[in-house]
Amino acid sequence: MLGMRMRDSEGLKELVSGAKFVHVLGAGINPEKPANTAISDLSERGWNPVPVHPRDAGASIVGFPIRPRIEDGVLPEVVVLFLAPERAREAVKSLLVTNYDSPALVWFQHGSEDTIAEGWLDEGGWNYVKNDCIVRFVQRHDLNRESEEIPWFKQVQSDDGSGCSVWSVHEFREDSEKSPTELEWIGDLRELEFSESSIPNYIRSLRNEGESLEECARRLAN
């Protein structure tokens, strides 16, 4: 099965409108960067953006936590690349080697296009977009959806030198600064449910009988 470069069409509008979560690679805390403002622009129209920026992970952008990477076990729906071409190529390679049940739509923002990565997507059967901006696309077509208002969680090392960890819960769109101590995990309720990482696995193992995962996560933060 061959992938396809998608252009402005009804099919593309349906794909974008049908996605709840949009991973934005390169979205850090610098408010002057287009990737940062894209988080605000997409969230105002109802998407749950997932900022990904290894250096700024642990902080948040308009209340959406910054992750260090796409969480293992979580199926990305749309992946937007605000990266230099070489880094975009590495990101595409990482996506392709992960055995996703359903390939994500990959969106090359202006300046991130890479012909080698595009060739890999073609061969792998993944759809992608280039020569367009996802923010301008949703504005041009006046696309909106309803946000999924779910909490998010963070675990960092304690600052008292004990070697313990601190688990915290944050409400939907609640901002948080980057911790001065090491970030151990960060993600929203969906990632907590599906992540294959050790910390979410451990949190899920602590659920009491009849207790929802959210109830468990909140209890552990008290």
Please report the pLDDT score of residue 209 as a whole number.
Answer: 97
Give yes or no for a contact between 3 and 128, defined as CB atoms under 8 angstroms apart. Answer: yes
| DSSP letter assigned to residue 77 | S
Domain segments of the chain: what residues? 10-140, 152-221
Whole-number Å distance between alpha carbons of 135 and 41? 7
Q: Please tell me the distance from the alpha carbon of residue 66 to that of residue 49, in angstroms, as a whole number.
A: 10
Q: Of all helices (H) and strands (E), which one includes residue 2? A: none
Q: What is the mean pLDDT of residues 132-158?
A: 96
Residue-averaged pLDDT of the chain? 94
Does domain 10-140 fall into CATH 3.30.2320.50?
no
What whole-number distance in Å separates Cα of residue 203 and Cα of residue 222?
14
What mean pLDDT do residues 35-50 have?
98
Cα angle: 153, vertex 155, 160; to 5 degrees: 140
| pLDDT tens per residue across span 1-31 | 444 677 768 899 999 999 999 999 999 999 9
Count Cβ atoms within 10 A of the Cβ of residue 68 and give its class: 0-12 exposed, 13-18 middle, 19 or more buried. middle
Report the predicted TM-score, pTM, of the whole model to 2 decimal places. 0.94
Residues 6+ apart with CB under 8 A from 97: none
